[in-house]
């Protein structure tokens, strides 16, 4: 009897014979590389850069928090200043109303004084005229009675 090879062994033998033929038959074809070491190197490199990235993010966060705090404090200062200016404006408006009332009172008092002064002048001129008229009238009457 003749000994035959097992079918799996035949496939393995055929693969061993054909593998070098396929490799040398197409020398222009690119060779595929898995790149395990490059991937591992890049992964370690990226992993080693994480602390510096985290520190940069922390610095950026702290800077942003400081800017926010400064903005909030300047906003609070602005609000206080605005409130202070509003109160001053209200006080000035009140003073302005009081001054307007005082000016109106002074105008009224001045008008009353001028009116009183005018009346007194008219009364004085009238009194002087009557006094002078009395003496003129007496002279005219005496003159007429002598004739």
pLDDT digits (tens, 9 = 90+) for 59-93: 999 999 999 999 999 999 999 999 999 999 999 99
**Residue 86 domain-assigned (yes or no):** yes
Q: What's the total number of domains in the chain?
A: 1
Domain residue limits at 84: 37-114
Question: Which residue has 């404006």 as its token pair?
Answer: 89
In a domain, 83, yes or no: yes
pLDDT given at position 147: 79
Q: Is residue 145 part of a domain?
A: no
pLDDT of 18 reads 72
Q: To which residue do tokens 């302005």 refer?
A: 96
Judge whether 49 lies within some domain: yes
Q: State the Cα–Cα distance between residues 19 and 30, nearest whole angstrom.
A: 16
**Domain-located, residue 66:** yes
pLDDT band at 5 (very low <50, low <70, confident <90, very high): low
Enter the pTM of the model.
Answer: 0.44
Does residue 122 form part of some domain? no
- Tell me whether residue 108 is in a domain: yes
Q: Does position 136 have pLDDT exceeding 80, yes or no? A: yes
């Amino acid at each position: 009897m003749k000994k035959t090879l097992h079918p799996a062994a035949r496939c393995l033998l055929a693969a061993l014979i054909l593998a070098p033929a396929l490799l040398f038959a197409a020398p222009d074809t690119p060779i595929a590389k898995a790149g395990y070491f490059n991937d591992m190197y890049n992964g370690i490199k990226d992993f080693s850069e994480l602390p510096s990235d985290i520190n940069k993010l922390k610095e950026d966060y702290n800077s942003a928090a400081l800017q926010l705090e400064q903005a909030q404090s300047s906003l609070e200062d602005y609000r206080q200043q605005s409130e202070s200016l509003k109160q001053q404006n209200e006080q000035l408006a009140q003073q302005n109303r009081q001054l307007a009332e005082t000016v109106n009172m002074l105008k009224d008092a001045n008008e009353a004084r001028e009116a009183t002064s005018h009346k007194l002048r008219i009364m004085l001129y009238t009194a002087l005229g009557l006094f002078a008229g009395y003496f003129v009238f007496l002279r005219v009457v005496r003159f007429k009675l002598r004739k």
